[in-house]
Each structure stands twice: as C-alpha cells, then as structure tokens.
Amino acid sequence: MTTRSPRKLITFDWAMKRLLRSKANFEILEGFLSELLGEDIRILDILESASNKESKRDKSNRVDLKVKNSKDELIIIELQFERQLDYLKRMLYGTSRVITEHQKESEAYATLVKVISVNILYFELGHGTDYIYHGTTTFTGIHDHDKLELDTRQQKLYGKIQINNIFPEYYLIRINKFNRLTTTSLDEWIYFLKHEEIKDEFKAKGIQKAKKSFSLLSLPDKELLAYARYQDNLRYEASMVESSYGLGRIEGREEGIEIGIDIGIEKGIEKGIGIGIEKGIDIGKLDIAKRLVDRGMSIEEAAAISGIDAALLSP
C-alpha cells in the first residue's frame, strides 16, 4: 500500500479565505481564472459579500470570493465540500443576488452587471462523465432552429457581441471526477485542487506562484495555528455529516424492513414489500425473501415476490 507524502501546500479553500484576498496574490487567482475561462483575466478588486466575511460560520464547508475584473464583470468563485441536493438552484440564486446587489435604483436594464459563477465542488452533482461543465444562455428558433443574435444597435448598447455574453455563465468543476493525466494547463490547476500538490514541471499561468505562496513553510506561526484549527473544523464537520448520513441509512433500512414485512402480511405481501423497498435504503432482496419464508410463506412465493432465484432460498 502506498502512503501519501506529507502535505506541503495549504488547501485552495484556505487560500481563498486568507491569501487570495491580497493584491500581492492576485496573480495566482488571475492565472486560475485565465486558464478556466480561456482568456486573459485581470483582477481589479476583491469585493465583500455576506458569505465571505469571517464569522462563526468559518467552520462551514462553503467558501466564496467575489471578484471584479478589468471588463467590469463580476466573478463568483464558490468552493464546497459537502453534498447539497439543491446546489444548482443555489447557483441561480447567487448570480441573481449579485446582479441585484450591484444595480442602482433608476438605472436602465442595459447597465446590469455580467456575472460569471465558478463552482469548485468536492461532491457528486448530477450525472455526467466530464469534470468541467460550462453553462450559458442562448435562444434557438422553434421552427427554423436558428440562433438569435444581437443587432448592431444592441451590440453598442450592451458592449457585447453575443447574447450569451449578457446573461450569467456557470462553470461546474467536479473535482472527484478528475482521474486523468495533466494534458492541459487547466488540468494542472485541477490536479492541484484535487491533490493539493503542484509539480515543478507545471506551467499553467500563476501556478508556480501559487506553489511558492501556498507553502506551509512560508506561513507565520499564527497563520499555521489558524490553518490547523480550520482543517480540524472541516474534519469534524465531515465526520458529523457522514455519521448522520450513516445512521440515517441504518435506521431507514431497519424501518423499511419492518414496515415492508409487517404491512405486507397484514395488507398484502406485494404492497408491503413495495413500501419496504421504497422506505428502506439498500434492502437486500435475498434478506426480504428469507424473512418471508421465516414468516411461513413458501420458497416459491417468496422468491417470486422478491424477484430472486428460488434456488438461493433452498436449504
């Protein structure tokens, strides 16, 4: 069994909380965003938002930054470890909130700010094989299937060429899905986000600056202690979540088996098994069938209802 070498770099979430807010480290964030967005990004400022102020909720598994670039666009960078079923809706809410926060009263709609939402996720979200997804807004004709474009007056009004450049854009980076060699400069950043390691040969924009700035050896003692406490908090929260999830699975399984069998005998075996399967988590068909046999049902009937081979129940 291979052992992982001791960590030499701080994690990106801690860097977002502390280091990347400094102008001295804008080069790092500019490098990551440039590789992701495929254009040269220059950061003008890090803006405050309700969720990135330090408070008791620093223990939260969510970290975010709000960045203003040289094109007066706002880029939201969110990083989250724990699973959240409604995360896509939260992304929508986040971009909508930023738009309204930066719109002054009586200003025309044409002045609405462009928002780019970058989401670094360490949990499974949706179904798909890729590890990076990009979402934009386009309008397609129902009959002619053509793509709606801005006319010249609208282009001058908005300062944009394409309609999708007006609406929010979304990037989903599913870190757990990255299982490949670093074939592009963007891959080098994703590799760091997953493994917390930057190799000497990496050449992505800003990444070697990150290796130097994120070194644990470069942190003063006070920052090292704060970082250690932060990591302990993350591990504690992860343990609590997994414990609750595991307990829920056990309780759900036990409740499902009990309800499935009891209701099945009283009101019909087929309906009872259906309820048991629906409410129980990972209920084994074989386990159900054996319990039915124990209650007096024949092997053939139990096997038919459970959908298994009767031979599996033979003594």
* pLDDT-derived band at 106, boundaries 50, 70, 90: confident
Number of neighbours of residue 7 by Cβ within 10 angstroms? 12
Beta strands in the chain (DSSP E): 43-47, 62-69, 74-80, 115-121, 132-135, 169-174
pLDDT, tens digit, for every residue of 206-250? 999 999 998 887 777 787 778 777 777 666 565 655 555 555 556
Contact 181, 194 (CB under 8 A): no
E strand or H helix that includes residue 222: helix 221-267
**What's the confidence (pLDDT) of residue 225?**
79
Q: Per the confidence metrics, is the pTM higher than 0.85?
A: no
**What's the confidence (pLDDT) of residue 277?**
45
